[in-house]
Amino acid sequence: MDFEIPENLRLMVDTVHRFVKKDLEPISQQVDDEDRIPEEIVQTMRELGLFGLATSEKYGGLEVGCLGECLVYEELSQVNACFRTRIGTNNGIGSQGIAIDGTEEQREKYLPKMASGEWIGCFALTEPEAGSDASNVQTTAVLEGDTWVLNGRKHFITNGDIADCSTVFALTDRAKKARGGITAFVVEKTDPGFFVGTIERKMGMRGSHTCELIFDNCRIPKDRVIGGDAMIGQGFKTAMKTLDKGRLTMGASALGSAQKLLDLSVDYAQQRVQFGKPIAEFQAIQFMLAEMATQIYAARQMLYHAAWLRDTRGTSVIKEASMVKLFCTQMANRVADMAVQIHGGMGYMKDFPVERFYRDLRLTRIYEGTDEIQKVVIARNLLKGGK
Ligand SMILES: Cc1cc2nc3c(=O)[nH]c(=O)nc-3n(C[C@H](O)[C@H](O)[C@H](O)COP(=O)(O)OP(=O)(O)OC[C@H]3O[C@@H](n4cnc5c(N)ncnc54)[C@H](O)[C@@H]3O)c2cc1C
């Protein structure tokens, strides 16, 4: 077994680490306060190629593989996970439908623009009646001549307000639903009948917006079905394939934040004096630090292993990706809870980043499939004969 991170990935991570320290760390709290990422930071992200980490070189991306993507997200999430979210939809759920199942024309049209960061992509599956049960989408698409007409409403869509193109899942055959009745489309922001609705007010992950998308007789050309006519009705499969990689990268983001919380806690425990000595000398505090470090170590091993399996063996990692998301995000939430505890009242104050990490991490157990849905996926794979 070789646990060395490949040289090319280490160089890239070093570059991202310098960007994080120099440009992101100083503004991480400001981004939370103002609920926006400054445009000059987004421009630097473009210049570093971060919007195209996952995209094939053929379409202008860096093609760093799943492990490379995870390593970058770990770095970004050490300061504020919203930086990951900004580039995340272009590398993940906003582009993967097209990358995996799109036609060559669709790939050539959309992937270079998303890889460069010129365009932002998003993924619009969730609706008020279709959350964990994503197969229950009610948005419809009807073919009228050479035009598809979409009607319905999506909610909780990350980057929906800034997206130039959205991967949208709609019912094309109500009777068949997920088994041949849902189709994936690309909708562009200038398409008639497409509107951005309410921007939701959230507990955390400020700096990343989540919103409603409305399709009111939204008319798009016939060739916007992802994968072309042969893929009409196959959109639910496209959605599931897209989410599989996202679950690994979500684990990486949670891991990065957990690592930062441990580092902050180790420092604070050595500085904060109570009863005449640093609180780090109390065994109760030491045990929390030991628990945090152990859980982070375990999470990192399983994440890197699953990413490596996906990159080098071409193995289907559906079950492993769900395990990684479940374990890493639960672990990071436990770590955040202990970090607040170690920081005492200071951990509850907005002057300290621990409070922000605590809020932001809560989301990771909900989106791209809740804990419970990850368990459903893992159990389903086990029961059909997986190890
Ligand atoms: C900030 C944010 C950003 C998001 N970004 C996107 C995005 O970009 N694109 C997108 O399409 N969606 C997005 N989502 C939606 C997200 O994926 C859903 O919120 C998530 O899948 C859960 O759906 P729900 O909120 O409707 O909860 P529900 O499905 O209503 O779940 C409520 C509870 O019931 C449990 N539950 C449901 N079914 C079962 C079951 N079968 N067994 C056991 N327990 C079950 C759930 O685990 C949960 O605990 C985002 C959500 C948030 C909060």
Ligand 1: centre distance to CA 367 (Å)? 6
Token pair belonging to 337: 């809870």
Nearest to 123 by CA among 345, 367, 347, 360: 367
Q: How confident is the model at residue 387 (pLDDT cuts 50, 70, 90)?
A: low
Q: Which CATH superfamily is domain 7-116 in?
A: Acyl-CoA dehydrogenase/oxidase, N-terminal domain (1.10.540.10)
pLDDT for res 20:
97
Check pLDDT > 90 for residue 228.
yes
Q: State the average pLDDT over residues 213-236.
A: 97
Q: How confident is the model at residue 3 (pLDDT cuts 50, 70, 90)?
A: confident
Check pLDDT > 70 for residue 252.
yes
**Percent of the chain having pLDDT more than 70?**
99
Strands 165-171 and 210-221: unpaired
The C-alpha atoms of residue 267 and residue 262 are separated, in whole angstroms, by 9
Q: State the average pLDDT over residues 287-297.
A: 98
Q: Which residues line ligand 1 (CB under 6 A)?
A: 122-126, 131-132, 156-158, 202, 205, 210, 363, 366-370, 372-373, 376
Best mutation site among 156, 247, 250, 360 for ligand 1 pocket (most ligand atoms within 8 Å of CB): 156
pLDDT digits (tens, 9 = 90+) for 175-208: 999 999 999 999 999 999 999 999 999 999 999 9
The CATH 1.20.140.10 portion of the chain extends over 237-383
User: Hey, which residues are catalytic here?
Assistant: 368
Per the CB < 8 A criterion, the answer to whether 73 and 87 are in contact is no
Ligand 1: centre distance to CA 131 (Å)? 5
The CATH 1.10.540.10 portion of the chain extends over 7-116
Q: Which CATH superfamily is domain 237-383 in?
A: Butyryl-CoA Dehydrogenase, subunit A, domain 3 (1.20.140.10)
For the chain, helix (H) and strand (E) counts, in that order, are 12, 9
CATH no. for 121-233: 2.40.110.10
Q: State the average pLDDT over residues 328-351.
A: 97
What contacts 138, CB < 8 A, 6 or more positions away?
Answer: 127, 129, 130, 152, 171
Ligand 1: centre distance to CA 366 (Å)? 6
pLDDT for res 316:
80
Q: How confident is the model at residue 312 (pLDDT cuts 50, 70, 90)?
A: confident
Which residue owns the Cα nearest ligand 1 atom 25?
131
**Percent of the chain having pLDDT more than 90?**
94
Three-state secondary structure string covering 152-220: EEEEEEECCCCCCEEEEEEECCCCCCCCCCEEEEEEECCCCCEEEEEECCCCCCCCCCEEEEEEEEEEE
**Beta-carbon neighbour count of residue 360 at 10 Å?**
28
Check pLDDT > 90 for residue 244.
no
